[in-house]
């Protein structure tokens, strides 16, 4: 079943989550253990993130610095296949513009079809760490919508050089990203919604939001999207706050606000365990309100927070 089918056909708010491929060289068993922890809540699909290569400088014994390309979390396709194989569940690998050429993307699409994986989340991807602004890869793309066009052409039976695919496989179904608090590069929310609408017209079947801690921002965003004629499911992306340091890290990394009521309570905590527990309680309250307002699905960001997500899921499912 495609992710969109479980989003649309579930009588109750469904559960899904995102995982990261393991750090290079750390094996997959830890990831399986995290997924095992969450299986009892009947996840409908699992997303697997993609991380571009970064350039780093390594010092040789002679004291010379060499620029090397390093991918800290390789293996999205293989990890997706391993999860599908082990848990017999829909997997949604992320496909990026950032760091990939169109040919590389095409090979990924072919690999995924061979593996029977036909769900994708199509994204521009984060900029490289050494860049101030996003720079498209040579023979790559600047925006997710261009990636959508390539996948659409592939679905119609054409490679990116225009040649026909001899035996086209099962078409891909895909979602895209959206931002209740606006994407940080967008001049305003209107422009961001304009591009989201274009992504919907180009074939996005659902959108998953950036994480947020203030439900009102999500509700307002959905209201504005509906007013613009964007009628696809908008799936809330949820991450329980876990540490006091995240009060500054989360706004910086994800460009979202932490509500003052939550920040004030975090500052009163005496231990990290108290902060973790507070994050879980805040998240449970958020999820209960979202469910009461009829969201079709909740999508959890589990990185370094599987224990908290499990506690939240236990309370709400």
The residues that touch ligand FAD, with contacts defined as CB under 6 A, are 49-50, 94, 96, 98, 123-126, 143-145, 177, 183, 185-186, 191-192, 195, 208, 210, 237
Q: In this structure, how many other beta carbons lie within 10 angstroms of the beta carbon of residue 262?
A: 18
CB of 50 to ligand FAD, least distance (A): 5
CA dihedral 121, 123, 126, 131 (to 10 degrees): 150
CA dihedral 226, 299, 132, 151 (to 10 degrees): -70
Measured from the CB atom, is 128 or 291 closer to ligand FAD?
128
> What is the spatial distance between Cα 88 and Cα 147, in angstroms, rounded to a whole number?
28
CB of 88 to ligand FAD, least distance (A): 23
Measured from the CB atom, is 188 or 264 closer to ligand FAD?
188
Q: Element (H or E) spanning 48, and its range?
A: strand 45-48
CB of 89 to ligand FAD, least distance (A): 18
> What is the spatial distance between Cα 117 and Cα 47, in angstroms, rounded to a whole number?
12
CB of 144 to ligand FAD, least distance (A): 4
| Whole-Å CA distances, 157 to 145, 151, 276 | 19, 10, 49
Q: Show the tokens assigned to 15.
A: 């559960």
Measured from the CB atom, is 275 or 286 closer to ligand FAD?
286
Measured from the CB atom, is 266 or 287 closer to ligand FAD?
287
What residues contact 271, with CB distance under 8 A and at least 6 apart?
none
CB of 45 to ligand FAD, least distance (A): 13
Sign of the dihedral through C-alpha 68, 72, 76, 81: positive
> What is the spatial distance between Cα 33 and Cα 84, in angstroms, rounded to a whole number?
15
Measured from the CB atom, is 41 or 141 closer to ligand FAD?
141
CB of 149 to ligand FAD, least distance (A): 10
User: In the 8-state DSSP scheme, what is residue 81?
Assistant: H
Measured from the CB atom, is 123 or 230 closer to ligand FAD?
123
CB 247 within 8 A of CB 279: no
77 phi, psi to nearest 5 deg:
-65, -45
Sign of the dihedral through C-alpha 148, 153, 156, 157: negative
CB of 304 to ligand FAD, least distance (A): 15
Measured from the CB atom, is 98 or 311 closer to ligand FAD?
98
């Amino acid at each position: 079943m495609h992710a969109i089918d479980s989003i649309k056909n579930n009588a109750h708010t469904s559960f899904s989550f995102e995982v990261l491929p393991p750090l290079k060289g750390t094996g997959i068993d830890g990831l399986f253990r995290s997924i095992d922890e969450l299986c009892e809540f009947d996840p409908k699909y699992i997303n697997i993130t993609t991380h571009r290569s970064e350039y780093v400088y390594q010092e040789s014994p002679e004291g010379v610095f060499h620029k090397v390309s390093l991918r800290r979390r390789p293996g999205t396709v293989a990890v997706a296949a391993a999860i599908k194989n082990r848990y017999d569940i829909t997997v949604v690998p992320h496909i990026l513009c950032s760091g990939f050429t169109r040919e590389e993307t095409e090979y990924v699409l072919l690999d995924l079809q061979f593996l029977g994986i036909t769900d994708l989340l199509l994204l521009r991807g984060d900029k490289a760490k050494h860049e101030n602004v996003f720079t498209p890869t040579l023979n790559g793309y600047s925006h997710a919508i261009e990636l959508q066009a390539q996948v659409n052409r592939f679905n119609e039976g054409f490679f990116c050089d225009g040649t026909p695919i001899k035996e086209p496989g099962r078409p891909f179904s895909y979602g895209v990203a959206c931002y209740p608090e606006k994407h940080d590069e967008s001049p305003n929310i209107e422009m961001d919604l304009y591009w989201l609408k274009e992504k919907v017209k180009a074939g996005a079947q659902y959108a998953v939001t950036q994480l947020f801690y203030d439900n009102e921002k999500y509700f307002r965003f959905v209201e504005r999207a509906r007013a613009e004629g964007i009628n696809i499911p908008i799936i809330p992306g949820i991450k329980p706050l876990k540490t006091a340091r995240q009060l500054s890290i989360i706004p910086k990394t994800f460009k979202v606000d932490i509500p003052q009521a939550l920040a004030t309570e975090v500052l009163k905590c005496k231990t990290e365990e108290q902060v973790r527990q507070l994050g879980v309680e805040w998240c449970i309250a958020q999820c209960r309100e979202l469910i009461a307002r009829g969201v079709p699905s909740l999508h959890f960001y589990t990185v370094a927070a599987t224990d908290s997500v499990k506690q939240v899921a236990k309370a709400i499912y």
